[in-house]
Structure formats: C-alpha cells, structure tokens
Amino acid sequence: MGENAINSKKSVAVMGIVNVTPDSFSDGGRHSDAEAAVAHGLRLLEAGADMLDIGGESTRPGAAPVSEAEELARVIPVIAGLRARCDAPLSIDTMKPAVARAAVAAGAGIWNDVSALRGGPDALEVAAGLACPVVLMHMQGDPRTMQSAPHYRDVVEEVESFLLARAEAALEAGVERGAIWLDPGIGFGKTTEHNLALLAALPRLVAHGYPVLLGASRKRFISALDPAAQTPDARLGGSIAVALAGAAAGVAAVRVHDVRETAQAMLVQAAVASARER
Ligand code: PMM
C-alpha cells in the first residue's frame, strides 16, 4: 500500500476561537487588544484552523451582557484586520443582529448565534438577509443564570426539538437550508450529566442532515470528570477526547482554543477511520 493510499485530510473542520473580551472563559482577556487578537487569529490559522470565530461578549456562566456599542468596538477592528490579512472564513459569535450585520459588512461570513436567532425581534429576518451560514445553538436560560439550576425532563429530546424548531423558523424566514448549522450548546445551562448525554447522542443530532458544530473546548464539565484539572488550560486532554467523540459521530466542525493539537487529533482520527473502511 503506497503512501498516497493514506488519508491525509481531516474530515472535521477546526474553528479556532478568538475571544476579544476582558473576561473571556479561558484566555483571561490577553487578546482584548485588537492587534493582539488579529495576531492570535493568524497564529491559529498557521496552527491549522480552517476558520476563526470572533466574539466580543463573554457567554461564560455568570457573565453580564455588554452593550452593542462596546461589542462592536471590540469585534469590528479584529474582523476587519483579519479580513485584510487572510482568506479564511471568519465567524462572528454574537447574539445581536446589528453586530452580526456590521461584522458581515466588515468581512465575516458566518453568524454564530448562541441564542439561536432569539436575540432580537429582527434576528430571523437579519439572518435571511445576510444570506450566510448561521449556527443555531441551544442554551437554557441566559449566561448570567444558566448554570444555577439546569433542568430537563429529557435533555436530548428537548435540545433536539428546540434546534429543529429554530431551524424551521429560520427556513420560514428565508434562510437557506444549506446555511443552517446546529450546536447542542455544551455547558450552556447543562450539568455534567446533561453534557454527557448530549455528547453520547451526537449521532442522533447529526442524522437530521444539518452540519453540527461542537464547542466543548476547555469547558468546566471536564474538571468535574477530572478534578485535578481546575484551570481551563489544564483541560486539553478532555477537550481532545470530546473532539474525537464528535468526529466519530460525524460532526462537521469543532470550536476549539487548542488548534494545533486538535487539528492533529482530527488528522489522525480521519486516517484511522479511512484505514478501517479499506
Ligand atoms: N461556547 C462559547 C462561546 N460561543 N458558540 C457555539 N456555537 N458553541 C459553543 O459551544 C460556544 C460558542 C463559550 O466558550 P468560550 O468562552 O471558551 O469561547
């Protein structure tokens, strides 16, 4: 068997995270300055990211909302700066339709909305008008309160029906079917058991035919499973384990902080999967 029989392509896209927030989940605001955030994004692309997700409002548990003006001031210079220096798809991580619109005008091509187009009365209409891919994510409650007492009768069924209903609403508003992505929202109003149930059920979400984005990088439930890993940057092993579980389930993309390590894991995973098929 020649070298060229070896699959050297990963089948899962790696979305690198560029948080432009002073109180980000995990980078402690080190990239809050626009130039530093642009440089960070370019490093993630060099490290193997297929696209970048730029966000200016922290959604960490307990985080307070930021104003539209503040969010725009954080993200627009970063998107414009990255657009001037790279061709990679750029995603805007926002719940605000006006921020999504300005970000797309500045060069973003994907709207990642953790509120699944519920962030304003015009969200569905704006998404249809932008005509770009939109990520619909499940969240119970809002970031300020979501981890206080997450509760579900059947978490898998409820997340699945919520996402399908939001996809339906987007379709009705005129968003193209091929532009809709789904995301179970790991850590957004979920206990460790809820997160694990959703990860175990990923094939069921994937089976609906929409590309699925999975974001579990450095999230707190990893520390619940490994109490020795209390800080976000001690959660790399767990983050990669979740990305591999996502790849095995057929997700389209993983949203991660540790791009180099995750991209390598996805390459090896794809090579093993294709050797299994031979
Ligand atoms: N997680 C965070 C922010 N945005 N977007 C999507 N689609 N999915 C996620 O899981 C997600 C997100 C919070 O994580 P961070 O503050 O570490 O970036």
CATH class of 12-277: alpha beta
User: Is residue 17 in contact with ligand 1, taking CB distance under 6 Å?
Assistant: yes
User: Is residue 113 in contact with ligand 1, taking CB distance under 6 Å?
Assistant: no
Question: Rounded to an integer, what distance in angstroms lies between the CA atom of residue 207 and that of residue 39?
Answer: 37
Answer for the pair 198, 156: CB distance below 8 angstroms, yes or no.
Answer: yes
Question: Rounded to an integer, what distance in angstroms lies between the CA atom of residue 114 and that of residue 93?
Answer: 8
Residuewise pLDDT in 10s, the chain (278 residues): 445 567 767 799 999 999 998 754 344 444 447 999 999 999 999 999 999 999 999 988 888 899 999 999 999 999 999 999 999 999 999 999 999 999 999 999 999 999 999 999 999 999 999 999 999 999 998 888 888 889 999 999 999 999 999 999 999 999 999 999 999 999 999 999 999 999 999 999 999 999 999 999 999 999 999 999 999 999 999 999 999 999 999 999 999 999 999 999 999 999 999 998 88
Could you tell me where the DSSP H helices lie in 135-188?
155-173
- Sorted by sequence, the CB contacts under 8 Å of residue 271 that are 6+ apart come out as 6, 7, 8
pTM: 0.94
**Whose C-alpha lies nearest to ligand 1, atom 1?**
215
Pocket test for ligand 1, best of 66, 181, 255, 258 (most atoms within 8 A of CB): 255
Give the start-to-end residue ranges of the domains of the chain.
Answer: 12-277
Per DSSP (E only), the strands in the chain are: 13-19, 51-55, 90-93, 110-113, 134-137, 180-183, 213-214, 253-256
User: Is residue 27 in contact with ligand 1, taking CB distance under 6 Å?
Assistant: no
